Structure 1
Amino acid sequence: MTGEIRRPLAALTLAVLTGVGLVGPAQLAHADASHARGPRPAMQLPFPCEQKWRLNTWGHAPALDMVREPQRATNGSKLIAPAAGTVVMSKWSNGAGHSVKIDHGGGWYTVYIHLRVRSVKVGDRLTRGSVLGQVGGTGTNGNTPHLHFETWYDKNGDGKTGWGGPGVERVPSVFNGAVYGNRDGQEYRNVSSNNCNVGELGPH
């Protein structure tokens, strides 16, 4: 367990190794049937091309905790936008540390928590591959360095999404056509980023 992300025993018990497969349009349509106000953005992992990462749901699906493979390379790893959007939150909080939230349009948002460094501010317009900052372990809930990642869908159209609790609007994430995080206790090893051919882009 040395150097590994630590979670409560109940969550660790759930962390069994499972596979992930590609899904077709019909499966994605079914997954999004109750969240169909706007098309889901075509997202890639929020890391540079061909980097390999481990994704875990632990006990908080559909949220994902991500560490680089090998894990010792996680702290300070570059974080980049998985799709175009606008920064609607960039702040520090004691629990979450450095955090960023992106509005991708159509009611879709992504959230990034425990960053070591933030490189964007509210209002920045991003393209896929824009640098958001660095992965870290900040905040009282940061633990070992990792990226806590969430995808949100504003299904009731009120223009807001919450952080947790009853009625939250978190949904499983889709990267490069594969669904991740549809239940607790999932682990995906050596997931390779296809966030390629984007160069060193920044906010504009």
Structure 2
Amino acid sequence: MSARAAYRLAVLGVIAVCVIVSWTVIRHRLGNKPPPAPPGPRPAFQLPFPCGESWTLTTYSGHHDFDIDFFARSGNTGGRTVLASAAGTVTWAGWSATLGDGKPAPPGSSGTRGGLGYGVILDHGGGWFTEYGHLAAEPKVRTGDTVGLGQPLGVVGHTGSTTVDHLHYEQLNDRLDARRTRGNGDKVEAVFDGVPSGITADDTSKDQVRTSRNCPPAGP
């Protein structure tokens, strides 16, 4: 065997060893990584409005498929009380919006390039979250608070990336996305009082009408 052939064989041997070692390390790490926990049972979500109120659920082309815009069926939409859809913990409450140049928008502004404006995100456990956006003013809850079903979170407004009074609402299951981003990949069709919302596609879903069963518990 020539010196050149022996050199090539040695190089190939080194490469083979490196590949085997790398694969062994990767397989070991993957094997030790705990599998993602399955989602917990979906909470018994209710409409985020007081008992007996009727609301239109709608969306529009360019919205995410499962995002819902709520408009009151009678009277003014702005100023209506927004309630927690289920018991949980406030994982975020505050202000989030940007201007056209990407800079932060001043609190209370509307028609910005992006953002919920004043909003709240609730963690309901088991990977389930709800999101409430475009509130009229600073939320009535703070990050870290524990809230019960039907607890007031704020009032409907048009802060952030809108100029029309409505509530932006989402239900999310962050176990769908291994990165736990609570992004578009985690959104699911909202269910209220056990009934699917019907808002599943931003360009084809028809408006729906629902009456809130987010009612105080019956007395003794």
TM range (shorter): 0.7 to 0.9
In 1, Cα distance between equivalents of 2:217 and 2:117: 28
1:186 is displaced (CA, Å) by: 2.1
Determine the C-alpha separation between the residues in 1 that align with 2:154 and 2:217. 16
Tell me the TM-score normalized by structure 1: 0.72
Question: Which residue of the partner structure matches residue 193 of structure 1?
Answer: 212
Work out whether residues 129 and 198 of structure 1, in 8 Å CA contact, stay in contact via their aligned partners in 2. no
Contact 1:152/1:161 (<8 A) preserved: no
Which of these residues, 82, 86, 106, is aligned with residue 85 of structure 2? 82
Q: Distance between the aligned counterparts of 2:117 and 2:152, measured in 1?
A: 18
Q: Residue 49 of structure 2 corresponds to which residue in structure 1?
A: 47
What do the CA deviations read for 1:28-86 (whole angstroms, capped 9, x no partner)?
A: xxxxxxx952100001100000001000132322110101112x511010001111000
Measured on the aligned residues, the alpha-carbon RMSD in Å equals: 2.1
Give the CA deviation at 1:156: 4.9
Q: Which amino acid aligns with 1:48?
A: P
**Secondary structure, in 3 states, of the residue corresponding to 1:113?**
strand
Q: Which runs of 5 or more residues in structure 1 are unaligned?
A: 1-34, 200-204
Larger RCO: 1 or 2 (CA < 8 Å, sep 6+): 1
Change beyond 3 A, Cα 1:92–1:129:
same
Tell me the secondary structure at the aligned position of residue 175 of structure 2.
coil
Aligned to 2:200: 182
2:129 is the counterpart of 1:109:
yes
Distance 1:161 1:44 in 2: 24
Equivalent position of 1:161 in the other structure: 181
| Structure 2 residue 155 is the aligned partner of structure 1 residue 134 | yes
Is residue 115–residue 136 contact of structure 1 (8 Å, CA) maintained in 2? yes
Q: Deviations over 1:112-168 (max 9, x none)?
A: 1111131000011011011101011001x122110110111012575833344xxx2
TM-score for both structures, normalised by structure 2:
0.67
Letter in 2 for 1:126: V
CA contact (8 A) 1:75 1:146 kept: yes
Q: What is the CA distance between 1:188 and its match in structure 2? A: 3.5
- Which structure shows the higher helix fraction? 2
- Aligned CA distance change for structure 1 residues 150 and 68 (closer, same or farther; 3 Å): same
Alpha carbons 1:54, 1:187 under 8 Å: kept: no
Provide the identity percentage.
Answer: 39
Q: Which protein is bigger by CA-based radius of gyration?
A: 2
Distance in 1 separating the partners of 2:189 and 2:205: 12
Q: Tell me: CA distance 1:135–1:92, structure 2 relative to 1, closer, same or farther (3 Å).
A: same
How many residues were matched structurally?
Answer: 160
Find the counterpart in structure 2 of residue 9 from structure 1.
none
Does the 8 A contact of 1:107 with 1:157 survive in 2? no
Q: Which runs of 5+ in 2 are unaligned?
A: 1-36, 98-114
User: Given residue 50 of structure 2, which amino acid in structure 1 is its aligned partner?
Assistant: P
